[in-house]
Amino acid sequence: MARQRITIQGEGSITEVERGHVYRIRLRLPPEKPGGKLRWSPQRTVHGNKAKARQAVEQYRVELEAELNGETLGLTVGQYAREFHERRKTIGALSPLTLERDELEISRIEQLFGKVLVEELTTADVNNAYAKLRKQGLSSSALHKLHAKLRQIMKQAVREGVIPHNPCDMIEGVKRPAARERRSLSAEQAMQLARDLKEAPRNGRIVAVWLALATGIRRGEALGLVWANVDLDNGRIRIDKQLDSKGNRHDPKSKTSKRNLSIDEGTVAFLKEWRTMQASIFNGGAGVPSAMPVCTNEHGDFIEPNVFNRWRRQWFADHGLGGFKVVEEYADKHGVKRYRAFGYEGFNFHELRHTQATLLIGGGADIKTVQNRLGHSSASLTMDIYAHAIEQNDREAATIIGSMLG
C-alpha cells in the first residue's frame, strides 16, 4: 500500500513587519509523530506587498511539502520567472523603467504558475490561465504583454535545456491589439494652450506643460530636468535623465532617448523669466543651483509625478482640453464647500508629444529630425507612429503638384 502523501493544512501566518513593505511568513507543519503537536516552520522574510506575501506562503508550502515527502523539487515557473528577472537586472542594458514594467508581468506569472514546475507547464495550463484572466476583465493589451513575457521566459528555459519545447509557442488568440489612434492638438488648440500657459501664474507645473508642448519631451523627462542641462545662451537643453512614477531620477528608457534639443526664442524667454522667479523664491535672488529642478514644487524640489498628474488633469479640464464624468460637492472639516472630480476624459500629457510631432511633420520637417527630436530608436518607428500625419502631407503634396500641372 502506497504511503499517503503528507500535506500542510491551514493558511499559514503572515506578520507585517514594515507596513506594506516587509512581512514574515510561516506555516504549521504536521506532527513529527502520530498524536504529536503541530509545529511552526522556520520563518521567512518577504519584501513586497501583502499579495506578494500570500504568494510566498503558497510557494513555501510547495517547498515544505516536497521536503516532508522526500521529493526532489525542481523550479516552479514562478521561481524561474523571478530568477530570469533578477538576472536581467544585472545585465545593465535595460532601463529602470523597463524593469519596473516587467515586474508587473513577473508578479502575475508568480501568481498564476507559482505551484507549477517549469518542466510540467503545458499549453493547456497557459490557455486555462488566460481564459480566467479574460473572465476577470484583463484587457487584451495587458494579456498580450503577459504572454510575451511568459513566452520569453520559457524560451530561455528551452535554451538552457530545462524543457525540450516552449508551451507558449502553440498558444493562439493572444494578439497585439491594434494601435490606438494617436490624438494630438490642432494648431489652433496648441496656440490657445500656449497663450493660456503664458497668462497663467508661473510655477513648475506650468513650465512642465510648456516644455512638453514646445519640445515634445516626455513627462518624466520634463520633471527630471535640472538647470545644469539647460543652456539658455545657445538655446539648447540636454535630456539624459527622467523622473519615474515613484519619484526616482535615472537614465531614460533607451540610449536614443538621451539627446540634445534646440529650443525656440519664445521658450528661452519663458525659461529665463521662470529661472529669475525661482532665484527670488528659493535663493533670495542669488541665482539657482545647477542641480535644482527646472520644474520645481512649492519647496524647490522635484514634483512628485502623481501629484503632477492630478493637477494636470484639472488644469486641462479648466482650459477646455478635457473634463470629468463625475463632479461631487462636499464640505471639508471647516465647513468650506469643496469639489472632487472622477473619470477624467480628454487630452493627456503624452499627447502634447504627439502634437509636437504632428505639427513638425505638417510643417515640413523631415522624419530624421522628428525621430531625433523625440528620441525614437529609428526613423521607421517614427514613420509607423505618425503615418497619419505623413499621409496628410502626401495628400497636400499631390494637391500642390496637381495645381502646378493643371
pLDDT tens across 336-369, in order? 888 788 888 999 999 998 888 888 877 777 778 7
- Type and span of the H or E element at 339: strand 337-346
Instruction: Say which DSSP state 218 is in.
Output: -
CATH 1.10.443.10 residue ranges of the chain are 187-312
Percent of the chain with pLDDT strictly greater than 90: 44
Partners of residue 76 on adjacent β-strands: 117
Instruction: Report pLDDT for 2.
Output: 54
Query: For 326, phi and psi rounded to 5 degrees?
Result: -130, 130
pLDDT band for position 65 (50/70/90)? confident
- Rounded Cα distance, 154 and 112, in Å: 14
- Which is more confident, 134 or 181? 134
Partners of residue 95 on adjacent β-strands: none
The CATH classification number of 85-178 equals: 1.10.150.130
Q: Give the distance, in angstroms, between the CA of residue 14 and the centroid of all CA atoms in the same chain.
A: 29
CA distances from 193 to 188, 228, 303 (A): 9, 27, 21
Instruction: Report pLDDT for 46.
Output: 86
Range list of β-strands (E), 149-263:
230-231, 236-239, 242-243, 249-250, 259-262
CATH 1.10.150.130 residue ranges of the chain are 85-178
The CATH classification number of 187-312 equals: 1.10.443.10
At which residue does the C-alpha cell 499549453 appear? 123
Instruction: Report pLDDT for 375.
Output: 77
- Rounded Cα distance, 380 and 314, in Å: 35
pTM for this entry: 0.63
pLDDT at 182 over 50: yes
Report whether 180 contacts 140 (CB < 8 A). Answer: no
Neighbours of 286 (CB within 10 A): 9
pLDDT band for position 400 (50/70/90)? very low
pLDDT at 278 over 50: yes
Long-range contacts of 156-164 (CB under 8 A, 24+ apart): 156/84, 157/80, 157/118, 162/75, 162/80, 162/118, 162/119, 163/118, 163/119, 163/121
pLDDT at 401 over 50: no
Tell me the average pLDDT across 124-134.
93
Average pLDDT, the chain: 85
- Rounded Cα distance, 89 and 91, in Å: 6
